[in-house]
Amino acid sequence: MTQQAASDLLWDHWREGRLLAALPPDLAPADRAAAYRIQALLEPRSAEPLYGWKIAATSLAGQRHIGADGPLAGRLLAERVLPADAPVPLAGNQMRVAEPEVAFRMGADLPPRAEPYAVAEVMAAVDTAHPAIEFPDSRLEAFERAGEAALIADNACAHLFVLGPPAPEGWRALDLAAMPTRIGAEGRAPYEGRGGNALDDPRLALTWLANALSGQGLSLRRGEVVTTGTTTVPLPVEAGDVVRAELGRLGELTVRVGV
């Protein structure tokens, strides 16, 4: 009941657009395992099957920023995935940043098992690769100091997500770690990065997620989309911005920020 109460509290704040100073001590998860159990209670609230997963804190700088010991997994809910031609609402968003990411759509299930998945196995289960932009957020007011367990319970800062078109044929031969990336808004200098800012390689990030889910007894399922972490410093955005993410030969994605 404590985990359900924690989930209810976070969900109510999301639904009402309010911030929470912190989870009360009697509801705060003690560790990652308890936090993921709270997070899992999000799924029954969605009217659609799970859209996919996000990975947060895939760089050392990102981990230090939020006090995490490693990457965090969060659920992408179908209701929070927007088409590229729809304005991205900022109402109630305290982070107000956009992140360019490499996303993968799975073509086969990766069920839980005792043996860890290797990168080659995971990539063989991928159908398509995509450019993507994530607009993260948290209901925790001081999210940088909330601690990794509280952030996991709050869905690892998953919020709004836009998936770009599939990459052209031949993307599997690309060096995704070295791939130059950038994100910018009109009238401002872009932020530049590389694919390897996501856990050294987006393929490694996807493999980390597959094994993290396996460790929880969960499958990474056919059709699900995984976005593997920001490849640049997050770009501050405001209403009216036209944001353009460029992910090398994987492709580009442009979205408009609403109010």
pLDDT at 203: 98
Cα angle, residue 83 at apex, residues 109 and 38 outer, rounded to 5°: 55
What whole-number distance in Å separates Cα of residue 8 and Cα of residue 153?
11
Per residue in 111-156, pLDDT tens?
999 999 999 999 999 999 999 999 999 999 999 999 999 999 999 9
pLDDT at 54: 98
What whole-number distance in Å separates Cα of residue 10 and Cα of residue 154?
7
pTM greater than 0.95? yes
Which residues of the chain, if any, have pLDDT below 50?
none
